[in-house]
Amino acid sequence: MTEQAFEPTRDRLLPELTIKQEIALLARTLWREGYNDHLAGHITVNMHDGTLLCNPWLLLWNELRPEHIIRIDMDGNLVEGDWPVPLGIPLHLELHKARPEVEVAVHNHPLYGTVWADLGEIPPALDQSSVLGGGGDLVLVGEYGGSVDDPGSAATAVAAMGDAELVLLAGHGTFVLGNSIRAVHQRAVALEQRCQRAWHVRVAGGDMTSPLPQWFIDRMKNSDGDKFHGFWEAMVRQELRADPTLLHNS
């Protein structure tokens, strides 16, 4: 990409992006949405060659650049890159071993998602923005028998998840899965909005019964997360405006 800023057109909302660029942009866009618990959090993309691309340890999600992305094998060994493997990566390793069909996985400790995980409750979806992106039912997994940097504890948590793609890990945080960067972005944003708004309604003493019709909730659950064209693109452009150098040298 040249120094000239990207100007979107109706037919081309984004510049061409590599997988590493998409991972860096996913991290930065989700940081703005509350996935910002300091150094916590992992993003993995299954390359289907026995390796995963992921963000490294030591860098905040809002400072991640494409050139920082590392490649690891399924045992967590560094294969490519100059940064250390993140702590807690066994959760992702065990997930991708057990469910090789999962393309992208995001784990972090966003404030409102973590509050509901700490409560051990599943918040209701009270508005349409809270169910965008699909992913099926949100499930609660009481997995905290030990830190997820332990492969055994991580494997137990993954087994308890079943085939869920939206998960609250009790006493821990959230886990969002999908078949594309776009889908996981949409689902992660919607999940934190769901948790935030349900919390505010509860604190305000409001009715926690969802006003959404069941047919609409069911339709949203079945979405693959790739249908809301323009949402991911708009959030990426925001990051590129904030840091016009982000795609350079990558």
219-249 pLDDT, tens digit per residue, is 988 888 887 788 999 999 999 999 999 998 7
**Spatial separation of the C-alpha atoms in residues 183 and 162, rounded to whole Å:** 19
181 pLDDT higher than 90: yes
CATH code, domain carrying 231: 3.40.225.10
66 within domain boundaries? yes
10 part of a folded domain:
no
CA gap 131, 211 in Å, rounded? 13
Give residue 101's domain range: 19-242
Has residue 91 been placed in a domain?
A: yes
Is residue 1 one of the residues assigned to a domain?
no
Question: Residue 199's pLDDT is what?
Answer: 98
Sign for the CA dihedral angle at 82, 86, 92, 93 comes to positive
Residue at 226 is within a domain: yes
The per-residue pLDDT for range 34-68, each reduced to its tens digit, is 999 999 999 999 999 999 999 999 999 999 999 99
Classify residue 101: in a domain, yes or no.
yes
Q: Are 92 and 42 in contact (CB under 8 A)?
A: yes
Q: Classify residue 13: in a domain, yes or no.
A: no
Q: Tell me how far apart the alpha carbons of residues 86 and 76 are, in angstroms, rounded to a whole number.
A: 9
Q: Considering its fold, how many domains does the chain have in total?
A: 1
pLDDT band at 2 (very low <50, low <70, confident <90, very high): very low
Q: How far apart are CA 125 and CA 76, in angstroms?
A: 36
HSE, side-chain direction, 13 A CA sphere, residue 99: 22
| pTM of this prediction exceeds 0.75 | yes
